[in-house]
Structure 1
Amino acid sequence: MYGLTGMINAAARGRPTAPSTLFGGRSRTWAESRARVARLAAGLRTLGAGPGDRVAILALNSDRYTEFLSAVWWAGAVVVPMNIRWTAAESAFSLRDSGTRVLFVDRAFAGLAAEAAVACPALEHLVWCDDGDPPQGLLSYEDLVSAHQPAPDAQAGGEDLAGLYYTGGTTGFPKGVQVPHRALWYNNLLCAKLLEVEPDHVVLHAAPMFHMADSCLGGAGSIMGAAHAYVPRFDPEAVMAAIEAQSVTHTVMVPTMIAMLLQHPAFATERLGTLRVVGYGGSSISRGVLAEALTKLPHVRFVQVYGQTEMAPVVTSLSAADHVLDGPRAGRLAAAGRVVPGCDVRIVDEAGADVGPGEVGEIVARGPGMMQGYWNLPELTAATIRDGWVHTGDGGYRDADGFIFIVDRLKDMIVTGGENVFSAEVESAISTHPAVAQVAVIGIPSDQWGEAVHAIVVPRTGLAPSVAEVMAHCEPAAGQLQAPPQRDHPHEASAPVRRRQDPQTRPARPLLGRA
C-alpha cells in the first residue's frame, strides 16, 4: 500500500542534505522539510484534523504549499486545493460541500477567505500561511510548526482518499473529484519518467499549484527527490528570473503561458539556458505557438500530457521526439500522443462500441489513475464511470500508428450547415498567421447555418491583421491539417460517430464569423 508521504521519507533518507525547496531567499534540505512536515502534521492534529478530515488551501505558489500537501497526508487527512480564480460563492460552496474544517490562506486571499468562511459553519480554523504576523483570528503556520513535536506518519495509502480536487461542471458550481493515494502515486512515477526528472534537477512551479497540471511536475519532483522552486503566480519576467536565479531545469505550463512567455518583450533564449524540459497540457495548443517555441528554444525538450482530473490526470503523452516541424513525424505535432504505460484508452460511439481508425468518437480511459468518483454526486459518478471506464467527454480519434488526436469537447463541437467543425483545428490553422498572438474559436447562432464559426483573435503587438487576411491564410493552412487514414465517408450530422473529412473535399462553408 503506497502512500504519498513515502516520497518525502525516501528523499530525506536518501538525500538528506540536498535542497528540497527554494523560495523567497529560503532554502531547505529534504531532512529539514521532513521535520517541518511532521511538526505541521502534529499541529493539524491538535486542530482536529485526522484521518479522512478535509484540510483546504487557498494560496499562491510557495514552499509552504508543498509542505502543506505532505503534512496533510502525514496526518492522514485529505487535501482540498482551492482554485485561486474562484469567487467567494464558489469558494464557500467547495468548503461546505467538502466539509472542510481547516483552511490555509495567504495574504492574497485572506479577504476572500473571510467572506467565504461566513457561509461555512463547519469551518473551524483559518491558518495564515504567509510571511509576517497573521491577521486577528487566524492561526500562524510557523507557530504550528515550531510549537509541536513531530507526529508519527499516519501511513495512509492505497485507496485512502488523498484529495478532493474540485473541477468545473455544467451546473455552475464545481464538483469534487475523489482522488486516492493510489492514483497520485502512479501519476507521480509516470510523470517523472515522461518529464525526464532526475534527483539533481530543479523543477519550477510556474502554473498554479491547485491545478493538476502543476501536480504532474510537483509529484514528479518529490518522488525523485529533486528541488522545488516557485514563482507566486505566473508572470513571464518572474519565470525567466527564477530560471536564471535557481538554474531551473524543468517546468510545466499551460499553452497560454507558453505563448505569453515567448511573446514577452524581455524574452531571450539565453535567459532560459538551464531549462531542459517543458511539459504542457491543460488545454489544446496551437501549431503556431508550438512552432514558435521549438524555434526560440531549440535546446528545450517539449512534452505534451493529455488527461483530466478524473484520471489524476495523465492519459496520453506526446514525447519530445515527436515535437518536430519537418519530416515524417511532423504530422504528429497535432496529436495528444500515445497512451501512457498502465493506462488503457478506447474511442467509442454513443452506444459504447469501439470505432475504427480515423473515426471520431468519445475518448474513454481506465487505469491506476482513475478517480473513485465525484463527492456527493452518485448519479454523475455513474454517468461518468461506466463498466469501469471513465468517459472523458472529449471527442477524438486514433490513427493507424496508435496516436490519439483530440478534436474538441463533444459538447463544444460546432455544427454549421450540417457539417461538424472542431474549434481546435480552426484555432490551429489561424495560429500560424504571423500577426496572430492568440486565438479562440467558438460557435455563434446563425439564421443561415444554425451555427457560424467565430474566431476571436488577439494580434501581436503593433500588428492588425484584417478578417480577409486571416481567412485567406486559413485556406492553405486547412490543407495541412492531419487527416485520418480513411477519407471515403462524408460527415453525417445525424450519425453518432463522425468521420473526419479531408479538408480539401469539404463543401464550401464560411470559415469565420465577423466580429
Structure 2
Amino acid sequence: MSLTQGLHRALQTRGDQLATIDGERRRTWRQVGARVARLAGALRALGVGSEDRVAILSLNSDRYVEYFYAVAWAGAACNPVNIRLTPAEIAYTLNDSGSRVLFIDETFAPILAALRSAMTTVEHIIYMSDGAVPDGYLAYEALVATGSVVPDAAVGGDTLAGLFYTGGTTGKSKGVMLTHANLLANALNVLPALAYDASTIYLHAAPMFHLADMASTFAVTMAGATHCAVPRFDVENVLATMARERVTHALLVPVMINLLVSSGKISDYDISSLRRLMYGASPMPRAVLMRAMQQMPGVGFTQGYGQTESSPVISFLSPEQHAAGGDRLESAGQPAYGVDVRILDAQDSEVSPGTIGEVCVRGPNVMRGYWQLEQQTRETLRNGWLHTGDLGYMCKDGFVFIVDRAKDMIITGGENVFSVEVEGAIHLHPGVQECAVIGIPDEKWGECVHAIVVPKPGVNLVPADIISQCRDRIAGYKLPRSVDIRHEPLPLSGAGKVLKTELRKPYWQDMSRNVG
C-alpha cells in the first residue's frame, strides 16, 4: 500500500468534511484531494520522478499536509528539513539527499541568499506563503491552480517514501530511509493507540518536519479526521487555538508540556474538548508529568517512545496505565502492535527481566537503512534487529524502562550514572524550569556528574540547593559534583531535545577523548 491510501480513504468516506484548518483558512477533504493531485502534476512537470527527493523548509501549515501527499502522489520521496539548522547544515541536508525541489515559506526565504551558492542539487524553489513571490521562485498557489491533474503514482511497499535526517544531538545528521510500508505500519499502530476517528481534530503544534508529530499525520488522514496547524509552539496561541477550534488531540514534547504547565495560563482557556495528549521524543520528568495530569484532569495522556529509525513508534503507555500510577509511570509503556522489542547484551543475547541492556527492535516499522551510509547501516541493523542506542530494561509484564541514551551515560569512578535519573531528581525542585545532566572531565574519577539548571522566572537558585535536592533521592555517587545555574534556555534541537553535545563542548573540546 501507498501513503496516499489514507488520502483516498478520506476522500471516499469524508469528502465533504473538514480536512484542514490554518487560521481562517478551511478546506474539505475533497478540496485537499484536488489540490494534491494538481500539485503532484506540477511536480511531475518540473521533472520530479520516482524516488526523487523533494525537500521542505517551513513552519507548520495546512500546505505542509498537502506537500506530504503531493510528493507521494507524484511517486517521489519527501525530505522535511529541520527548521533549527544553520544555513550550512541545511545545505548539507539538501545536497546529501540530492533534493531536486525545495518548498520554502516566508520565514526561511531570507536565508536563501546564504544557501544558493552552497546548494548543488536543488533545481526549483517553490514559495509556499501568500503575498509577493520573490524573484526566481515558483508560486505554490499558482502551481496548484495550473498543475495538471495526474493519476496517483500508487507506489508503495518498500519504495522510499522519505529521507528523515536525525536531529544531530549526537553528531552529524544521517538520512534515515523510511519506506511507504514503514510509515503505514506506524500509522496503523497510532490509530488505535491514540483513538483517532472521524471526530478527531488534531493540533500540529510540535514541528511538522519531525517524526514525533508525523507519527500522527498519516494516521489522522486515514481516519478522515481534521488537521489543525499553528505555525510553531507558543503557549497562548496553542491554548487559544485548542479552545477556538475545539481540538481533541495533540502531541507536545516534554519541553512544551513543561512550558504549558508552568505558564499558569491553562485555566484561562476552555480546553475541555481535549481528549488525548501524546508526548514523546525526549524523557518526561515525572514531576512535570504529575503537574500536567493535575492541571488537565480530563485529558488522557499517552506516551509514545520511539526514534526516527523506527518510523518512529516503538511502545506506548496508555491513558489507563497513566491513571493507574505507580512505577509504570516511569516506563515507556509496552511494545506497539507488530513491534518486537528485546533487551540485548553486547553479544546480542536477550537479558533477563530487570537487567539493563540495549533496547532493540524489529518489525515492519524499521527503516530500510541510512542514506548512502552502508557501514553505519550494518552497525545499527545487526542480526535482524534495530539497535536503538538506548539503554533500558523490561519488567516481567513487558513494560520498557529507558534509563538513558548509551552515549549520555556517565561513568564516574567505574560506576554508571544515568543522566535521566539525576535530571528527574532535580526536576522535583519547585524552582527548576529546565535542567540537563552531563559528564565532564575529572582527573580522579574520569568523569563527574555536572548539572546545568535554568530556574523559573523570579526564582533565585544556588548550586547547593540543587545538590541538597538530590541528596535524599539518589545515591551519593550520582549526586552532581558541580552545578551551573543559567538564566537562558537550554539549546534544543528542532524536536525539543536538549542538545547535550553543545553543552559538553566547552568541557571536552581540549580533551583527547570526548564522551559526548
The letter for the 1-side match of 2:107 is: A
| 1:169 CA displacement | 5.0
Matched, 1:513 2:444: no
User: What do residues 169-217 of structure 1 show as CA deviations (whole Å, max 9, x unaligned)?
Assistant: 5884321111000010111111111111111110000000000001012
2:62 paired with 1:63: yes
Counterpart residue number, 2:417: 421
**2:214 is matched with which residue?**
215
Give the deviation of 1:260 after TM superposition. 0.8
Residues in 2 aligned to 1:170 and 1:318: alpha-carbon distance in whole angstroms = 25
Q: Secondary structure at the match of 1:362?
A: strand
Give the aligned partner of residue 376 of structure 2. 380
Matched, 1:39 2:38: yes
Secondary structure of the residue aligned to 1:204 is: strand
- Contact 1:306 1:336 survives alignment (8 Å): yes
Structure 2 SS opposite 1:119: coil
Structure 1 residue matching 2:260: 3-state secondary structure? helix
Match of 1:453 in 2: 449
2:186 counterpart SS class: helix
User: CA offsets, 1:72-104, max 9 Å, x none?
Assistant: 000000000000011111111111111111100
Q: What does residue 366 of structure 2 align with?
A: 370
Query: What number of residue pairs does the alignment pair up?
Result: 484
Indicate the SS of the match to 2:108.
Answer: helix
Relative to structure 1, the CA distance from residue 453 to residue 73 in structure 2 (aligned partners, 3 Å threshold; closer, same or farther) is: same
CA contact (8 A) 2:204 2:251 kept: yes
Matches within 5 A, 1:107-506: 107-169=106-168, 172-268=171-267, 270-324=269-323, 329-478=325-474
Q: Would you say the 8 A contact 2:201–2:227 is kept in 1?
A: yes
Q: Is the 8 A contact 1:166 1:177 kept in 2?
A: yes
Taking every aligned residue pair, what percent have the same amino acid on both sides? 48
TM-score for both structures, normalised by structure 1: 0.91
TM-score by length of 2: 0.91
| Equivalent in the alignment of 1:22 | 21
| Secondary structure in structure 2 of the residue aligned to 1:85 | coil
Greater Cα shift, 171-180 or 49-58 = 171-180
One-letter amino acid of the counterpart of residue 377, structure 1 = L
* CA distance in 2 between partners of 1:10 and 1:87 (Å): 39
* 2:228 partner amino acid: A
State the alpha-carbon separation in 2 of the partners of residues 170 and 148 from structure 1.
40
Supply the AA of the counterpart residue of 1:364: C
Instruction: Give the secondary-structure state (helix, strand or coil) at the position aligned to 2:161.
Output: strand
CA spacing shift, 1:125–1:358, aligned 2, 3 Å: same
Compute the displacement of 1:468 (Å).
Answer: 2.7
- 1:287–1:429 CA contact under 8 A, matched in 2: no
8 Å contact kept, 2:422–2:478: no
Aligned partner letter, 1:293:
A
Larger mean CA deviation between 134-143 and 90-99 belongs to 90-99
The change in CA–CA distance for 1:300 and 1:372 in structure 2 (over 3 A counts) is same
For structure 2, the 5+ residue unaligned runs are: 485-516
The Cα offsets for residues 300-331 of structure 1, whole Å up to 9 and x where unpaired, read as 1110011111110011111111214xx6x411
Q: Is the 8 A contact 2:16 2:30 kept in 1?
A: yes
Distance 2:450 2:170 in 1: 25
The separation in 2 between residues aligned to 1:15 and 1:125, in whole angstroms, is: 34
| CA 171–238 in structure 1, closer or farther in 2 if over 3 Å, else same | closer
**What CA distance in whole angstroms lies between the structure 1 residues aligned with 2:140 and 2:433?**
42
Offset at 1:269?
A: 6.4
Partners of 1:20 and 1:29 within 8 A in 2: yes
Larger displacement relative to structure 2 (203-212 or 451-460): 451-460
What is the alpha-carbon distance in structure 2 between the residues aligned to residue 98 and residue 229 of structure 1?
29
Q: Do 1:217 and 1:251's aligned partners in 2 also have CA atoms closer than 8 Å?
A: no
**Which deviates more, 463-472 or 197-206?**
463-472
Residue 270 of structure 1: CA displacement? 4.3
What amino acid maps onto 1:410 in structure 2? A
Distance 2:245 2:342 in 1: 42
Contact between 2:307 and 2:313, CA under 8 Å: does it hold in 1?
yes
Which shifted more, 166-175 or 6-15? 166-175
In structure 1, give the amino acid aligned to 2:121. A
Write the deviation string for residues 379-403 of structure 1: whole angstroms up to 9, x where unpaired.
1111110111111111111112211
Kept after mapping to 1: 8 A contact 2:470/2:479: no
Rounded to whole Å, the distance in 1 between the matches of 2:12 and 2:218 is 18
Partner residue, 2:504: none
Q: CA, structure 1 residues 294+72, in 2 after alignment: closer, same or farther (shift >3 Å)?
A: same
Q: Which amino acid aligns with 2:320?
A: A
Which amino acid letter does the alignment assign opposite residue 461 of structure 2?
A: P
Question: Does the 8 Å CA contact 2:369/2:377 hold for their aligned counterparts?
Answer: yes
User: In the superposition, relative to structure 1, how do residues 509 and 289 fare at CA in structure 2: closer, same or farther (>3 Å)?
Assistant: closer
* AA of the residue aligned to 1:230: A
Report how far residue 121 of structure 1 moved: 2.8
Deviation at residue 115 of structure 1 after TM alignment: 2.3
Q: Residue by residue, what CA displacement relative to the aligned partner does 1:221-243 show, whole Å, maximum 9, x if unpaired?
A: 11111100011011111101110
In 1, the alpha carbon distance for the partners of 2:128 and 2:228 equals 17
Does the residue aligned with 1:261 lie in a helix, a strand or coil?
Answer: helix
Residue ranges of structure 1 left out of the alignment (5+ in a row): 479-502
CA RMSD of aligned residues (A): 1.5
Contact 2:451–2:480, Cα closer than 8 Å, also in 1? no
The 10-residue stretch of structure 1 (161-170 or 54-63) with the greater mean CA deviation from structure 2: 161-170
Q: Deviations over 1:91-150 (max 9, x none)?
A: 111111111111000001112234223222321100001111210100000011101231
Aligned residue identity for 1:181: H
Per-residue displacement from partner, 1:45-85 (whole Å, max 9, x unpaired)? Answer: 11111211111000000000000100000000000000001
Matching residue of 2:500: none
Note the 1:49-128 alignment, pairs <5 A. Answer: 49-128=48-127
- Distance in structure 1 (CA, Å) of the matches to 2:60 and 2:45: 26
Q: Distance in 2 between matches of 1:419 and 1:273?
A: 47
Alpha-carbon offset, residue 168 of structure 1: 3.7
Indicate conservation of the 8 Å contact 2:239/2:269, yes or no: no
Distance in 2 between residues matched to 1:273 and 1:171, nearest whole Å: 39
**Contact 1:44–1:75 (8 Å) recurs in 2:** yes
Q: Structure 2: how far apart are the matches of 1:330 and 1:171?
A: 32
